[in-house]
Amino acid sequence: MITAMQWADLDSSACSVARTLAVVGERWSLLIVRDVFNGIRRFDDLQGHLGIARNVLSMRLATLTDGGILTKVPYREGRQRQRHEYELTQAGRELVPIMLTLMSWGDRHRPGGDGPPAQATHDGCGKRVRMVPVCGAGHVLPSAEAIALEPGPGARTAEPPISGEPSVPAPTPDPDPYGVQASLV
Amino acid sequence: MITAMQWADLDSSACSVARTLAVVGERWSLLIVRDVFNGIRRFDDLQGHLGIARNVLSMRLATLTDGGILTKVPYREGRQRQRHEYELTQAGRELVPIMLTLMSWGDRHRPGGDGPPAQATHDGCGKRVRMVPVCGAGHVLPSAEAIALEPGPGARTAEPPISGEPSVPAPTPDPDPYGVQASLV
């Protein structure tokens, strides 16, 4: 387990939580991703459903497109001029686990009176889906208390690295995002 | 699978993602939670590590305390006046899965050159922890494509419910946040 002093010595902005929030942490961004995931793909439809100012929606869509979360797909209806709608990229679809953990927390800690407003289900069997913490040895962790954080190879201190020090090679993108093959054998 | 038209008919603000973002979606809020989880618990230490303006940190700490994410614990050093530091509440500790999914996404899609800056491990066995989508039938879902969203009992349309209509009773908080007992049998 990392100590508070060790953590305080690490560069806060190097954290992957901070980097992800830089892309999707703005107000509205994840709600736009949620709506596009649910098939609301056109500017006017998003604007109507979210009740968001048009200029703000324009900015958020541009940020998400520039950030590789959304992609624009052209369409044409009848004889109207060509327009475009939005689709999630692969990186955008991989935000779904973040949405599911946000949903679970809200269902537990900010419930409406009528139960969960939406439920994630397995498209194959229809059963409810939850995000579960699993370790590389296949243990299902019962709660956050069993989770420790440790500095990884990319942890940075405030000082620049010593010149000539060998650096850890960049990882190749993992084809198995959840580590399922590695975790659940 | 919910259709786009069905989703567009549902009240956007009833979504648990929206409710959770109302608590932790402000810039800095989840980074404060991350630091407190890692043992940085005092105002000046948080301010120094995050490099955040003092008035903004004060506001965020007040919001997180009022929202039941952080709690203030008094301490006294030597003969100084009593001060307080921050601890995560149970609801705050249950934000850790959200942090882990944010970390995983950042590690994959916004990597630094040197690999992950931090790694979550199982405090018991030291192996790496990941959040894995698991359904109630025990299937591990290989990707977000296998996840569907459906309206739940709390889904609301724009119209108010018909007067006298029986409502679904509020759920009692689930003692098993990950549904592990139910999911992995």
Cβ contact, residue pair A25, B27, below 8 Å: yes
The CATH number of the structural domain formed by B14-152 is 1.10.10.10
Chain A CB contacts of B123 below 8 Å:
1, 145-148
The reported pLDDT for the residue numbered B1 is: 58
Chain B CB contacts of A14 below 8 Å:
112, 117
B89-141: pLDDT as tens digits:
999 999 999 999 998 999 999 887 788 888 889 988 889 999 999 999 988 88
User: Minimum mean pLDDT among B30-34, B36-40, B144-148: which range?
Assistant: B144-148
Please give the average per-residue pLDDT across B68-82, as a whole number. 92
Percentage of chain B modeled with pLDDT above 70: 83
The reported pLDDT for the residue numbered B44 is: 94
CA distances from B175 to A72, A108, A144, B15 (A): 43, 10, 13, 22
CA dist., res. B95 & res. B86, Å (int) = 15
Closest to B20 (Cβ–Cβ): which among A110, A115, A137?
A110
How close A77 gets to chain B, by Cα (Å)? 18
Q: Which residue has the higher pLDDT, B45 or A185?
A: B45
Has residue B31 got a pLDDT over 60? Answer: yes
Has residue B28 got a pLDDT over 50? Answer: yes
Q: Which ranges of chain A does DSSP label H, i.e. alpha helix?
A: 4-9, 16-24, 29-37, 43-50, 54-66, 90-93, 96-109, 180-183
A30-84: pLDDT as tens digits:
999 999 998 999 999 999 999 999 999 999 999 999 999 999 999 988 888 999 9
Closest to B148 (Cβ–Cβ): which among A101, A110, A121?
A121
Rounded to two decimals, what is the model's pTM? 0.80
Domain A16-112 grouped into CATH 2.160.10.10: no
CA dist., res. B68 & res. B66, Å (int) = 5
The reported pLDDT for the residue numbered A105 is: 92
Has residue B159 got a pLDDT over 60? Answer: no
The reported pLDDT for the residue numbered B8 is: 78
Fill in the DSSP letter of residue B96.
H
Q: How far apart are the first and last CA of chain A?
A: 26
CA distances from A57 to A34, A46, A157, B5, B22 (A): 14, 8, 37, 20, 18
Report DSSP letters for B108-132, one per residue. HHS--TTS-SEEEEETTT--BEEEE
CA distances from A133 to A5, A29, A142, B64, B184 (A): 26, 25, 8, 24, 12
Sequence ranges of the domains in chain B: 14-152
